[in-house]
Chain A
Amino acid sequence: MSENSNKPGTDAAKWYELFSRGARDWLRHDEKVRESVRQHLPQIIAGGDVINDGARTVRVPVRMLEHYHFRLRRPEESQGAGQGKAKPGDVFSDPSRQRGPGEKGPGGQDEGEVQLLLEFKVDDIVDWLWEEMQRPNLKARVGPSDETEWVREGWDRRGARSRLDRRRSFKEMVKRRRAPGATPSFIDEDLRFRQLTRRRQPAIHAVVFFMLDVSGSMSDRDRKLAKTFFFWVVQGLRREYRSLETVFVAHTTEAWEFTEAEFFQVSGTGGTVASTGFAKVREVIDARYNPGRCNIYLFYASDGDNSVSDSADARESLSSIAGDACYTGYVEVSSGLSRQLATETGRLFAELSAAGCAAGSYALNDFDDVWGAVRHFFTAESNAPEGP
């Protein structure tokens, strides 16, 4: 390299060791893919299998973008030249050619199909969703909270080494040395330590109850629909509350509280008695959450086939919850025929809404509806009147 070093262009050389144009253009491609993914959010949200439990990312398979050129239609039969020991009339098969030979351009645009698995942060997706929904501001009821936080306040001459405030100590030293006859360097008197103090923090608490009907009439698909919907609800609420608790309740003719992991695995048999579920929710609220300090949300997913004899009980327990909750939402998951909320449970929520409570319903027939449901509840919730 030495004999080259005095030629123009080579002094500045080595730039390519620091900078890769290929990587730059690849990043730009990546950005474009993400843009186009962003335009297809509803489909991504609908994808039931994008959700990794507990993970903060979702994976979306995408295809590489193609820069299009004029190309001839792929022929039924194409000719080519090969080499090797082959006689006229020989027939063999080449599965790799099934897509037909590509007409290569000068740069080789025939790149075939490579799929990428792009990972998106759930937060990013929720950001986009929020933008899409014109940022609904959830109306939270602020309650005073017991939460405290340590904040810095004042200085003291004693303290832990780690809280030594050097700048402040130096100032003290300078001040002291203005007096005649002072010792020149630091003495213990100069040192200042930062002090901490506890301060009450006006924090906003929220708890979401996810109540799922797991009676015999709810199929696996129904539960998966509900799960996908619940997932995005949690993501949305998490953005609004610093601490968000989730409670999972499943019911058939009885009701149980579950952990998140168990919750979606649960399946039961037997009839549907929604009031048991509502009663369970009520019980948990009373035991653990103070409605005055905590924002309560309830989302209920069911196929709506509540037993008729339960109507009165369900109505009563639901309205008691609705009185304390910021919002109650009902998604009706019905594969097959969409009865559009004309069910027992559907009526229940319609009454509630008519009575002026913050309540809403949505019929979820298909994975494509998940996006609509999320949008429906979040825009509805933000427009809902202040709870009592």
Chain B
Amino acid sequence: MSDDWRSYVQRIEELAARSGLEFHPVDFEAVPDSFMMEIAVYGLPVRMPHWSFGVRYIYQLIQRHMGHSRLFEVVFPGNPGHAYLASSNGLAENILVTAHVLGHADFSRNNLLFRRCQAQVSERIVEHAANHARQIQQAIEAHGMQRVEAVLDAALALEQHIDVDQPLRRPRYPEYLQDPKTLADDEFRKRFAALDPTAASTGIEVKKRAPVPPHPERDLLWFVANYAPEMESWERDIFLAVREESFYFYPVFATQIMNEGWASYWHARLLREADFVPQQAYLDAIKCHSDVVRPVAADQQVALTINPYHLGFAMWEKIVEKEGIEAARHIMEQDDDFGFVRNHLTRELADELNLFRFSARSDGQIKVLEHELTELHEALLGAKYNFGAPTVSASHVRNDGTLELTHDNSVDGRGLDLERSRKVLDYVQRVWRRPIVLTTVNQAGSTLELTSP
């Protein structure tokens, strides 16, 4: 490919800085399409090996051969950020993509969720992931493919089950219950103790072991790595490596609409203001832009999915138009997709974009439902709660080491897919090495226990 676009990078960066974007420096690299595809499949340029990525890879390959998906860029936040551009991009596409990447870089440096997770994971996730891959390769050499794969089967099956509200490097639970003395320092306790000094003093001396876990634990990766009765240290390391990558993926997942919208808004705006771009390249880039932010429903009358680029772009345009760029930046810093959609997707905008809510029956019949804004928000966001995973938490470890998992169906509204859940239990059981019991509800809503083995 030609390197013409590189001469524009600096000018676009200057223009972006003048327009108020704040970003860490970004390394741009042009890579072949085949590698772009792999980055998309793995989510990171170098990542641990696992057969499930192979399955996704084949699906991507099929999709690409059918001409469905084309990737222009993938960007990784950090300091410096890393942007990979498809070497098949033309000049106009690369100019557009450079501006788009700077929009992402601004977002990931300033959005609070990104900042919090990056503070935990560090700003060098690309290098960390490559280290994990190397570490797992060494484990394969030391312990054999079969054993490492069994651990990865379990760890990657639980990859969404983390708790980003807890620190990445999180201490174990306190071993003992808090000494009741520290709690009992009020007037009543003093007088009660004075009644029978012998009874009171013996009760206080005994330290009580805290139950494990002291409360239902959502961070299954962390919990298993720390409390599995017989896990080997290299197995724990693999669990923690997967968990660290999940901490990186969470903000990407939870701000997709905002983030893509923000980057699209800025590539459009920077392009408009970039007087140094030749006329022809400008026209080509505008066409490319309209392809990217086009609603899925453009050709057809009705689509049952929504292009997040399109939705995010339309929302940011509206916000900037109504409230100004400063307010928009403020929103960008503070929200994630949940707050963003709920607060800023108004009835007016939803109507303008022809958004609707539907219900789909299992026989394929689709029915368009009444316009109801909050319900529409939920339909858009439903798949994103809890990292897109059911709320399963570790609730108890029995004396014999049996792990009790509980699925909170009151949050999710229905029970788990039993077949799949059983398989996941089988994966996890091989590293927990004691029985596992999972409680959920069946179709009829009555409690059900799955066990492994």
Contacts and interface: CB of A to CB of B under 8 A. Distances in A.
Interface of A: 1-4, 7, 10, 13, 16-17, 20-30, 32, 64-98, 100-101, 103-109, 111, 114
B56 A108 contact: yes
B359 A82 contact: no
Contact of B368 (A27, A30, A69, A91): A91
Contacts of A27: 54
A73 B422 CA distance: 13
Nearest to B441: A73
B417 A23 contact: no
A311 B88 CA distance: 80
Contacts of A64: 55, 58
A106 B253 contact: yes
A79 B383 CA distance: 10
B24 interface: no
Nearest to B161: A70
27 contacts: A16-B35, A21-B42, A22-B57, A24-B49, A25-B53, A26-B55, A26-B58, A32-B51, A68-B421, A69-B424, A72-B412, A72-B414, A73-B443, A79-B379, A80-B359, A81-B358, A81-B380, A82-B358, A85-B354, A86-B354, A92-B365, A98-B362, A100-B362, A104-B388, A106-B43, A106-B388, A109-B52
B241 interface: no
A92 B366 contact: yes
B14 interface: no
B427 interface: yes
A79 B358 contact: yes
A68 B420 contact: yes
A75 B361 CA distance: 8
B195 to A, nearest CB: 52
Contacts of B306: 81-83
Interface string B376-419: 10111011000111101000000000000001000011111110
Contacts of A111: 55-56, 59
Given A72-B417, A91-B365, A91-B366, A103 B388 contact: yes
10 A-B pairs closest in CB distance: A25-B54, A22-B57, A84-B302, A26-B54, A67-B52, A84-B297, A68-B423, A29-B54, A98-B364, A81-B379
B56 A90 contact: no
A269 B127 CA distance: 76
B246 to A, nearest CB: 8
Contacts of B205: none
Interface in B41-90: 41-43, 46-47, 49-62
Contacts of B423: 68
Contact of B418 (A66, A73, A94, A95): A73
A80 B359 CA distance: 6
Contact of A95 (B295, B364, B414): B364
A78 to B, nearest CB: 5
Interface in B404-453: 407, 412-418, 420-421, 423-424, 427, 443
A16 to B, nearest CB: 4
Contacts, number: 250
Contact of A93 (B3, B156, B366, B417): B366
Contacts of A86: 301-302, 354, 356, 358, 368
Interface residues of B, number: 94
A8 to B, nearest CB: 10
A70 B389 contact: yes
Interface stretch (B25-33, B91-99, B107-115, B276-284): B25-33
Contacts of B407: 70
Contacts of B27: 7
A245 to B, nearest CB: 43
Contact of A73 (B29, B53, B416): B416
B368 A100 contact: no
B121 interface: no
A81 B355 contact: yes
Nearest to B57: A22
B360 A100 contact: yes
Interface in B279-304: 295-297, 300-304
B260 interface: no
Contact of A71 (B50, B379, B417): B417
Contacts of B209: none
B58 A83 contact: no
Interface in B145-195: 153, 156-157, 159-161
Given A82-B304, A94-B304, A111-B59, A70 B392 contact: yes
Contacts of B37: 22
B392 A21 contact: no
A75 B414 contact: yes
B270 to A, nearest CB: 22
A103 B383 contact: yes
A238 B50 CA distance: 39
A3 B27 CA distance: 11
A111 B60 CA distance: 10
A82 B27 CA distance: 37
B51 A29 contact: yes
Nearest to A27: B54
Given A74-B362, A84-B301, A25 B389 contact: no
